[in-house]
Structure 1
C-alpha cells in the first residue's frame, strides 16, 4: 500500500524527517498504531514513549498524545527511532550556579531531562555528567524498591512514585523534571548527600517554584488558588485530568496576573504540589490554557495569536525561579533562569501591539 512516504535526499550524516500522507483507509487510526505500521521493527510501548517525548508532528504541529486520531490527507512527520532517532536534545544547558554539592542549570526547549528506552544522547542528565563528571542518581534506591514491589510493571502503585521512577532508567543528577518543551531552571545533585536531601525537600514541599506562563484569555481575578485533584486520564493514559470528587491526588497551584494583553495574559504560577503536567492542566481547567500547548488546549475554540506575532512552537511555559535550602550548608538558595527568547519576543510584541485606550 502506498502511504505517500517521502524521504528527501540529505547530505551524508544529516538525518531529515520522514513524511507520510495518511491514506483514506487509515482515517481515524490512532497515532501510535500508525507508527507501528510505518516502523514495524519498534515496539508499540517504545513508540508511545517516543510520541510523548514530542518527537512526532502532524501537519506541522507536535502531538504528544498516543491516542490522537489522524485524518486522511494529514501529514505525519518524524525521524525514526533507533539508530536514526533524534537524541534527547541538541541545545546545551547553561549553568547558573554551581558548587561541589549541586548545580542550578537553565534547560532549553526540546531537551529531555534524562534518557529512556526511546531517548538517549543530549539529555540534561547526560550533559550534566559531561560538565561535572560522575553524578549520583538521587532516585536509584527508590526505583529499586519500587521495582521490587511491582516487578516489571514500572507504572504500578502510587501515581507520583510511578512518575518519578517510570521505566527505572538511570538518571544521574536528576532531582526533579521539566517537560521537554518547557524551559527553565532545574537543580542538579552533584553529591549523594545533596541528592538525598534535595529529593526530601521536594517531597516535603519546601521548595518554592515560580513559573511564567502566557495564557489564552484574561482571568477574572488578579490572583487565585487552583485547588483541583489530578488523575491519569483513563482514556488517554499519557495525559492527566482533573479528578472527580473523592478521586485523584491533591494538587494546588497559586497564580497571579503580571500583565494583560488583548485576549492574552502573562501570569506567574506557583505549584505547591508537583504532579505531572500540573500547571498545564490547572490553567486549562479554569479556561485559560497555555499558549502553544497542543495537549491541554481546552474545549473551547481559542483566539489565535494575532497576525504578525512571533510564532510559539511549544507551550509558553518557563520555570523562572527556584527557592530552596542548600542541602549541605542550610543557607537559602535562590536561582533564576532568564526568560527565553521565544517567550520574551512574543510578550514584547503583544505589549507593543496592545490596543490603546
Structure 2
C-alpha cells in the first residue's frame, strides 16, 4: 500500500488477509495522514466505492472486493509527522512479546490506544510510525488511556479474526490489579450490573449503572489488604467501556486515582503519597496463539509509581 498516489483515482483489490475488516478501519490503516473526518466524508458522499457500489463505514470487506479511491488532497502538515517519533520509538521497550502474528505490549499509562477525541495519535498510530513496512497492525482490544498493562495487537488479519473469536467466546483471560478504597468484602466475588454509556456535549464518555444498559459482569478476588485500601484482582467477563471502574464505584470502593468515578477523600489521600495516575493495571493476559494453538500467558509488571504507592501503604 506504500505506493498509493493520493492525486489520482486508485483501485485496490482486497486479499484474503483483509477479509472481514470494516471498510472504514481499512481506509484509516492505509490512508496514513488523511484525517478520519475526511475518510468518513468520502464514504458518506459515495466517493469511495466497493465493486462500483456505495457502501457504509461498517461494511465488512470480502476477498476480491475492488475498492475505488478518489483523488485525495492532503496538506503536507497532514501527510506525516503528527506522531511524536521519539515517543513512538520508546514503545519498543514496552513490548513483552512479538512474533509474525502478534505483539503483546505493556502499555504505559497516559497513552491512548488510538488517536481521536482531540488526540493526534495513540499506540496503534505510533507502532505504524516506527514499523512503516508492516502491512497490517490492528488493535485486538482496547485499554482506557489511563490504564496500563497488557495490550494485544494483531500483525495479520487471520490473527485478528482468531483473537476476536476468542474474545467473543470469552476464552481470553484478562486480569487487572486495582487499588480500591476501604475494605473489599471477602464474600463479594462478582459484580453484575448493567452499564449504560453516555457521551456529554464535551465529547467526554461517562458510564453509569442503569437497567437500560448492557449486561456487564466483573469477577473479583482480594490480592492484599491495606489500611484504608484493598488491592483486588478484577476479571472482566464482558468488555464494556470503563467497566471495572464503574463496577468498583457501584460496589462502594472507588479505584485510586480515578478522577471520573472518584472518592474525593480517598483520591486526596492517595495523592499525598505520590499517586498521580489511575491505579488500574492489566497485569495478566492469557489466550490461544492464533497460529500455533499454544496456550500463552503474559504478565506485565507494575510501573514504578504503582509499586511505590503500594510500598507506602501498611499491610493488614
Corresponding residue of 1:200: 165
Give 5+ residue unaligned stretches, structure 1: 1-44, 46-81, 137-171
- The match for 2:205 among 238, 241, 245 is 238
What is residue 119 of structure 1 aligned with on the other side?
A: 119
What does residue 149 of structure 1 align with?
A: none
- Partner residue in 1 for 2:294: 331
SS at match of 2:208: strand
For the Cα contact (< 8 Å) 2:199–2:205, is it kept in 1? Answer: no
Q: Give the secondary structure class of the aligned counterpart of 2:177.
A: strand
Match for residue 349 of structure 1?
312
- Taking structure 1 as reference, are residues 208 and 128 closer, same or farther at Cα in structure 2, changes over 3 Å only? same
| Residue 286 (structure 1) shift | 0.6
Deviation at 1:192, TM superposition (A): 1.3
Does residue 211 of the first structure (1) align with residue 208 of the second (2)?
no
Q: Is the 8 A contact 1:222 1:257 kept in 2?
A: no
Q: Distance in 2 between matches of 1:290 and 1:266?
A: 10
Aligned residue number for residue 95 of structure 1: 95
Q: Deviations over 1:191-224 (max 9, x none)?
A: 1110111122112221110000001111122551
Paired residue for 1:280, among 238, 241, 245? Answer: 245
Match of 1:183 in 2: 148
Q: Secondary structure at the match of 1:267?
A: strand
Give distance in 2, aligned partners of 1:293 and 1:88: 29
CA offset at residue 89 of structure 1? 9.7
Structure 1 residues 68-112: Cα deviation after superposition (integer angstroms, max 9, x where no partner): xxxxxxxxxxxxxx99x9969937321111110111111111111
Question: Any conservation in 1 of the 2:109–2:145 contact (CA below 8 Å)?
Answer: yes
Q: Residue 190 of structure 2: which of 225, 234, 237 is its match?
A: 225
Deviation at residue 254 of structure 1 after TM alignment: 0.5
Task: State how far apart, in whole Å, the 1-side matches of 2:150 and 2:85 are.
Answer: 18
Q: Secondary structure at the match of 1:350?
A: coil
Equivalence for 2:303? 340
Q: Is the 8 A contact 1:89 1:111 kept in 2?
A: no
Is the Cα contact below 8 Å between 1:89 and 1:112 reproduced in 2? no
Q: 1:252 to 1:328 in 2, by over 3 A?
A: same
Please tell me whether the aligned partners of residues 174 and 187 of structure 1 are also in contact (alpha carbons under 8 angstroms): yes
Q: Report the CA distance shift for 1:120/1:202 in structure 2 as closer, same or farther (over 3 A).
A: same
* SS across alignment from 1:209: strand
Asked if 1 retains the 8 angstrom alpha-carbon contact of 2:149 and 2:283, the reply is: yes
CA distance in 2, matches of 1:120, 1:89: 15
2:305 maps to 1:305: no
> Contact 2:85/2:126 (CA < 8 Å) preserved in 1?
no
TM-score normalised to the size of structure 1?
A: 0.59
Cα RMSD, aligned residues only: 2.9
Gaps of 5+ in 2: 1-36, 38-77
CA distance in structure 2 between the partners assigned to 1:296 and 1:228 by the alignment: 15
User: Residues 6-55 of structure 1: CA distance to partner in whole angstroms, max 9, x if unpaired?
Assistant: xxxxxxxxxxxxxxxxxxxxxxxxxxxxxxxxxxxxxxx9xxxxxxxxxx
Number of aligned residues: 233
Q: Is the CA contact 2:179–2:230 (under 8 Å) kept in the aligned structure 1? A: yes
How far apart are residue 234 of structure 1 and its match?
7.3
Counterparts of 2:85 and 2:219, CA distance in 1: 31
